Amino acid sequence: MTASAPESGSRGLFVTFEGGDGVGKTTQATLLQEWLTTAGRTVVRTREPGGTEVGVLVRDIVLHHRGEIAPRAEALLYAADRAHHIETFVRPALERGDVVIQDRYLDSSVAYQGAGRVLGSDEVRDLSLWATGGLLPDVTVLLDLDPSVARERLDADDKPFDRLESEKTAFHERVRAEFLALAAAEPDRFLVLDASRPAAELAEAVRERVTAALHPAA
């Protein structure tokens, strides 16, 4: 299995990692980045919110603002960050032929604001698709884990919870169910993995899926 360098002029690959808080997205994104870089690919690593200077400001608002944020306003803030991020950062990287590895994208908004905040999954998805000009990832890795287990992992980190991490169990159960529903609806895009498995096993499964996307069958 190899991730050889791209042909001149080829479009890049857009890979996103999704799942609840504490499932191990950062670990798997890092392992994938290291593997692709070693194989000679140019990799761009980013996240939402927070992938641009504007995104850093939005991230501070939506995750760390102490006062209440109306659910619709929250969804719009995420969409605004996403529109700027895709236009100024992700699309240019893909056009250069880079592999973009991103922590969270529109599926998180559908799960967290659409289902978690009960704003409506279709409405939130349509908002993000409009904001990004319809850009969807080539591969979306969904790391699935029981919210109670994920909470134990977060507790072990001994860090203060952000606004979303602090939500009650029912909220996180709705988020998980929506992620799984999204994956079931788009099996060609999603790779669903049991996040309780060892990190090395998960990384191997991710590499296999990304390799197939980099070298599609004729």
The token pair that represents 73 in the structure block: 């306003």
Predicted confidence band of residue 8 (pLDDT cuts 50, 70, 90): very low
pLDDT-wise least confident of 20-29, 75-84, 151-160, 202-211: 151-160
Residues 25-79 have pLDDT tens digits of 999 999 999 999 999 999 999 999 889 998 899 888 888 877 788 999 999 999 9
Q: What is d(CA 98, CA 85) in angstroms, rounded to the nearest whole number?
A: 16
Q: How far, CA to CA in Å, does 69 sit from each of 59, 171, 187?
A: 13, 16, 34
Domain ranges of the chain: 13-214
Predicted local distance difference test score (pLDDT) of residue 162: 61
CATH fold of 13-214 reads Rossmann fold (3.40.50)
Q: Give strand ranges (E) for the chain.
A: 13-18, 43-47, 99-103, 139-144, 190-194
Q: What is the pLDDT of residues 168-217, one digit of tens each?
A: 789 899 999 999 999 999 999 999 999 999 999 999 999 999 999 998 86
Which percentage of the chain shows pLDDT scores above 70? 90
